[in-house]
Amino acid sequence: MKKKLTLLIGTGLILFYILGCSSWSKSQKGAAIGAGAGGAVGAGIGKLAGNTALGAIIGASVGGVAGGIIGKQMDKQADEIAQIPGAKVQRVGEGINVTFDSGVLFDTNKSNVSAASQSKLTQLADILNKYPDTYILIEGHTDSQGSNASNKTLSKKRADAVGDYLSAQKVSTSRMRINWYGEEQPKVPNDSPANMATNRRVEFAIYANQELIEQAQKQAGSN
């Protein structure tokens, strides 16, 4: 147990160092992270950091030259997503983490996709359809009002609503994975109405599917 914990902490420190090294390109960071973390480590780091979307991206990394190739492809997609008003885009390793300042947020106890959210999600869907060789993790979250059980149910409804909307915009359901966490992963403390509104959200992780991984590995092998 002690050995596993040491490995997890050590890998986490390496990842934070890599992410903070501004002299490295995004693609270089992708290759380094992928080489240092597998699925189990990625999931563990995500849980410790309170960001399972980040953990999913790290866990899906393949690393090496192939990881660098995937990273370059993700750079372009991330730049396009960043043009959506209110989008917060973080390039992590070989994937993309997306949240929104406003739009994909929800009123208290509500799970319906608002008109403002629809506009942003339509733009996101258009970009996702341009880059079909990715998986899309959709996570639902709530603020701390209400019971944990009811918040879990509400966060699932929110993630499902976003997934259904993307599907209506022709994003393949086979690409989507839905998770929900209730109030367990706040982005900010639930100590004000503004902060609670921020926590009522759906968050996205975008990472390579098997086809893209195989293409990158084939390209890496021919170089």
Overall average pLDDT of the 173-200 stretch: 92
Burial class (CB in 10 A: 0-12, 13-18, 19+), 200: buried
Please report, rounded to a whole number, the percentage of residues in the chain having pLDDT higher than 90.
Answer: 50
CA 83 to chain centre: 17
Q: What is the pLDDT of residue 48?
A: 54
**157-172: pLDDT as tens digits:** 999 999 999 999 999 9
Average pLDDT over residues 168-186: 94
pLDDT tens-digit series, residues 32-63: 444 344 444 455 555 555 678 888 888 888 88
User: What domains, with CATH codes, occur in the chain?
Assistant: 2-222 (3.30.1330.60)
Buried b (16+ CB within 10 A) or exposed e, 77-114: bbebbeebeebebbbbbbbbbbbbeebbbbeeeebebe
Q: Are strands 134-140 and 202-208 parallel, antiparallel or unpaired?
A: antiparallel
**Would you call 207 helix, strand, or coil by DSSP?**
strand
> pLDDT digit string (tens) for 120-164?
999 999 999 999 999 999 999 999 999 999 999 999 999 999 999
